[in-house]
Amino acid sequence: MKKVNKLGQVWIETVIYTLIAFVMIGLVLGYARPKIQEIQDQALLEQSIEMLKQIDSTLLSMGSAGNQRILEVSIQKGELKIDGEYEKIIFEMESESLYSEPGTEITDGSVIILTEEGADTNFVKLTLNYSDVYNLKIQGKDEVKTLSAASTSYKFSILNEGADTNGEPIMNLTIS
């Protein structure tokens, strides 16, 4: 009879130790996972700022009418909006990271950064404003084009079509 009790005691101890290990792992993951997500979001925002700077640099180097450049843009999270109506390029992303001081616009080169604090996540908006510099068109039209996160890169073909009636260069973006 004693042998059966010892065998049962070993199994009960094994189950209890396993449960304690699972609880400890759960506690560590409960704390570490949000921090890991915050660090990943911060890295994605840094990459997105560099992407916008690359777009800005390409637009600034277009030169005279007839020049054309091809640019590849990768979006891993968030949305890229090209606003031909208001001449802006905007990247928006929900983030675990509080990237900058909430409610205050800051600039990084020509990129305007605005973070809005939310209850669960934060909203980060990165903007390139060309309202006084270029007349942006998307496939020849003054419209808004939204690009979502995708596993493949988007290809931008940017063509300088010369100046409009206000003397601003028309930059026509074709996206594929």
CA–CA dist 58, 53 (Å, integer)? 8
Chain Cα centroid distance, residue 14: 46
Identity at 79, one-letter amino acid code: E
72 forms beta bridges with: 155
Query: Residue 74's closest CA among 161, 7, 151, 142?
Result: 151
Is the confidence at residue 20, as pLDDT, over 60?
Answer: yes
Q: What is the pLDDT of residue 120?
A: 84
Residue type, 65: A
Residue 5: per-residue pLDDT:
65
| Spatial distance between the Cα atoms of 20 and 39, rounded to a whole number of angstroms | 29
Query: CA-CA distance, 124 to 99, in Å (whole number)?
Result: 7
Number of continuous H segments (helices) and E segments (strands) in the chain: 1, 10
Is the pLDDT confidence value at 96 over 50?
yes
Query: What would the mean pLDDT of 11-16 be, rounded to a whole number?
Result: 88
Please state the separation of Cα 91 from the chain's center in Å: 6
**Which pLDDT score, from 0 to 100, does residue 114 have?**
95
By the 8 A CB rule, do 126 and 90 touch? yes
- CA–CA separation, 121 and 148 (whole Å): 19
| Buried-state track 66-78, b at ≥16 Cβ within 10 A, e below 16 | eeeeebebebeeb
- Mean pLDDT, rounded, for 36-44: 90
pLDDT for residue 3: 56
SS3 readout for 58-89: HHHCCCCCCCEEEEEECCCCCEEEEECCCCEE
For residues 113 and 103, the answer to whether their CB atoms sit within 8 Å is no
Model confidence band, residue 153 (pLDDT cutoffs 50, 70, 90)? very high
Residue 34 carries which side chain, given as an amino acid letter?
A: P
The predicted-structure confidence for 97-129, as pLDDT tens digits, reads as follows: 888 889 999 999 999 999 999 888 899 999 999
